[in-house]
Amino acid sequence: MKELFGCALSSGTLSTAVRQCASGLVETELKIKRGLRRSSVIHADETGLRVGGRLHYVHVASNSRLTHYGADARRGKGAMDDIGILPKYRGTCVHDGWLSYTFYPKSRHALCGAHLLRELVYFEELGAETKTWASPLKELLLEMKAEVERVCAEGGQRLAAEKLATLTANYDRLIGEGLKAPPPLDVPEGVRKQGRNLLLRLERRKEEVLRFVTDFSVPFDNNQAERDIRMIKLQQKTSGCFRTEEGSRQFCRIRSYLSTMRKQGRGVLHSLEGACRGKPLSVRKRSG
């Protein structure tokens, strides 16, 4: 404002504007939450946030048209319950496998394939022993992804039963071989446990890992949430931590509104002007 218009704003004026803007977006935030709860697929993630010199968290739930950010001192179920999206959600939630998401069994879950690929690449490069199971599992996941994309491009809605059976049989076989493989001796015990835990997760949560194969409406990765949460990391790099919990909540409410408006093709400045005037733009109802 100072550089463009020669209008110097005090910190008190900015604080008042943020507070008034956030207070006028309470109903908008509720509409965003309702829209996400009605969505067939949502993406969820969380990241650290410094508030008053202490570690807090921002939880994101989003789809292609709606974004909600919630700030809380907790990372787990207590925070997710208070935010109020996941406890009432009945669609498919895509996430990275964080344990707290398993406390919501009434929704379906899908594990992010990109996260799994990164873990498999780590063990592929760790040594010859772990490469024997990590490399073929990585290649199989990529083959599954490519096959789904091919069928979708041809207008198909599901894999042929024979192809699906072959892919899942290969998946089971490779995991079984990995669990039977001798553990590497030249790595720390903790790393050996990580490898076995990864294989057990792939085995026990097979349905969630392969959700994108059996349901084409579910994406392979959790990139939507990761893109949405990138703004929070950028904010911390440029502005540092928040001083108060209330300030972090105000920021999240305003950012939820602006991210949603941008996804719905509305100009950010126009959207922000409406919110500051107490007349925020309406959230369009079509679900993502």
Q: Are residues 105 and 239 in the same domain?
A: yes
CA 248/CA 242 separation, integer angstroms: 6
- For residues 25-52, give the mean pLDDT: 96
pLDDT confidence of residue 288: 45
pLDDT confidence of residue 11: 82
* pLDDT higher than threshold 90 for residue 235: no
Q: Are residues 188 and 266 in the same domain?
A: no
Beta bridge partners, 43, equal 62, 94
pLDDT confidence of residue 97: 94
pLDDT confidence band for 138 (50 / 70 / 90): very high
- For residues 126-143, give the mean pLDDT: 96
Q: Are residues 72 and 208 in the same domain?
A: no
- Give the structural domain span for 77: 2-110+222-276
Residues above pLDDT 90, as percent of the chain: 82
pLDDT confidence band for 164 (50 / 70 / 90): very high
Q: Are residues 136 and 259 in the same domain?
A: no
Domain count, the chain: 2
CA 60/CA 70 separation, integer angstroms: 6
- Domain boundary among the residues 183, 214, 245 is at 214
The verdict on residue 285 lying in a domain is no
Packing angle of the helix pair 128-153, 113-126 (nearest 10 deg): 150
pLDDT confidence of residue 191: 93
The per-residue pLDDT for range 94-115, each reduced to its tens digit, is 999 999 999 999 999 999 999 9
- For residues 51-69, give the mean pLDDT: 95
The per-residue pLDDT for range 187-225, each reduced to its tens digit, is 899 999 999 999 999 999 999 999 999 999 999 999 999
The verdict on residue 287 lying in a domain is no
Mapping DSSP onto H, E and C, the string for the chain reads CHHHHCCCCCHHHHHHHHHHHHHCCHHHHHHHHHHHHHCCEEEEEEEEEEECCEEEEEEEEECCCCEEEEEECCCCHHHHHHHCCHHHCCCEEEECCCHHHHHCCCCEEEECHHHHHHHHHHHHHHCHHHHHHHHHHHHHHHHHHHHHHHHHHCCCCCCCHHHHHHHHHHHHHHHHHHHHCCCCCCCCHHHHHHHHHHHHHHHHCHHHHCHHHHCCCCCCCCHHHHHHHHHHHHHHHHHCCECCHHHHHHHHHHHHHHHHHHHCCCCHHHHHHHHHCCCCCCCCCCCC
Q: Are residues 156 and 230 in the same domain?
A: no
* pLDDT higher than threshold 90 for residue 139: yes
| CB-based contacts of 120, cutoff 8 Å, min separation 6 | 134, 135, 137, 138, 141, 198
pLDDT confidence of residue 61: 98
- For residues 229-246, give the mean pLDDT: 81
**Cα first-last separation, the chain:** 35
The verdict on residue 170 lying in a domain is yes
pLDDT confidence of residue 130: 95
Residues above pLDDT 70, as percent of the chain: 99
* pLDDT higher than threshold 90 for residue 31: yes
CA distance to 211, 244, 255, 267, 274, per residue, from 258 (Å):
31, 21, 5, 9, 11
- For residues 245-271, give the mean pLDDT: 94
| CB-based contacts of 80, cutoff 8 Å, min separation 6 | 59, 86, 87, 100, 101, 103, 104
Q: Are residues 104 and 120 in the same domain?
A: no
Q: Are residues 227 and 106 in the same domain?
A: yes
Q: What six digits make up the tokens of 93?
A: 């939630």
Assign residue 55 the CATH number of its domain. Answer: 3.30.420
The verdict on residue 194 lying in a domain is yes
* pLDDT higher than threshold 50 for residue 119: yes
pLDDT confidence band for 233 (50 / 70 / 90): confident
- For residues 73-88, give the mean pLDDT: 96
Considering only CA atoms, which of 214, 133, 122 is closest in space to residue 167? 214
CA 128/CA 167 separation, integer angstroms: 25
Q: Are residues 96 and 118 in the same domain?
A: no
pLDDT confidence of residue 136: 98
- For residues 227-234, give the mean pLDDT: 87
pLDDT confidence of residue 93: 98
Q: What six digits make up the tokens of 160?
A: 């042929």
CA 110/CA 100 separation, integer angstroms: 14
Average pLDDT, the chain: 93
